[in-house]
Structure 1
């Protein structure tokens, strides 16, 4: 049975805490990982799997995305949670993973940084605003 569902950052964290098989895949670019930071999963004994959805600096779709995903997460029934900056790229990655046969792919809504506020700052929601663990790249 295919499960594709959205999770808030808090729900994603709770899933990562409670499910030893759950994996967080960060689909942002290498520049974002380095300069903006990454979720810190050390307290739950896990590491983020970084796989670019689009390449940096080109901004082109990563032609190896599914190959890299399969190399990192070979089992189709592993719960895979996809995270990006605000939820758009991770939605596309979730759909691609589901189409490729992953049966428990989940998009993390709001992303790592969240939506823009009225001043154009990413301070509304997201992983960081939820107070979840993260570290500077």
Structure 2
């Protein structure tokens, strides 16, 4: 298993310093980081509807719960103007490592950039997101992402 220092180096190397956030991590690296860093937090930035109907990462084996803070608001998918305030209200400290997750990695990258701009010291994007890219069969969840990696998740 990679150390947290290795994960940080890999994320930075993948993304580059010019990206405006700590970098991209794979779902497996995110799990290892959450496991090794007691203060690390996962923030799922998808919509309430996605949490309800698609599923959520299951972090109880790590003694953690994901923070659920939408980056965009359904149905207009308008940006959540209170996003960084909501991070603080959820108790996410600016010094804590934060891993952002969305469906495929696009919204979570934007959230990581915004969090970094707001003073969060270590904001990662989980590349591939929860469901990952669309596979050859036209479905998500089989090519990459949290689900395809076989990481714990549940659906209500």
- TM normalised by structure 2 equals 0.84
| CA deviation profile, 1:74-116 (whole Å, cap 9, x unmatched) | 4211000000000000000000000000011000000000001
Q: CA deviation at 1:119?
A: 2.9
Q: Which residue is 1:65 aligned to? A: 83
Question: Aligned equivalents of 1:7 and 1:130: distance in 2?
Answer: 13
Runs (5+) with no aligned partner, structure 1: none
Question: Aligned equivalents of 1:75 and 1:82: distance in 2?
Answer: 14
Question: Aligned equivalents of 1:29 and 1:75: distance in 2?
Answer: 22
**Superposed counterparts of 1:92-103, under 5 Å:** 92-103=110-121
Aligned Cα RMSD in Å? 1.3
Question: Aligned equivalents of 2:21 and 2:131: distance in 1?
Answer: 25
Of residues 107-116 and 54-63 in structure 1, the stretch that sits farther from structure 2 once superposed is 54-63
From the two aligned structures, give the one with the greater helix fraction: 2
Runs (5+) with no aligned partner, structure 2: 1-19
Of residues 62-71 and 17-26 in structure 1, the stretch that sits farther from structure 2 once superposed is 62-71
Equivalent position SS for 1:69? helix
Between 1 and 2, higher relative CO (CA 8 Å, sep ≥ 6) is seen in 1
Q: CA deviation at 1:134?
A: 0.3
Q: CA deviation at 1:63?
A: 1.3
- TM normalised by structure 1 equals 0.95
Equivalent position SS for 2:35? helix
Equivalent residues, number: 136
User: Is the counterpart of residue 6 in structure 1 residue 24 in structure 2?
Assistant: yes
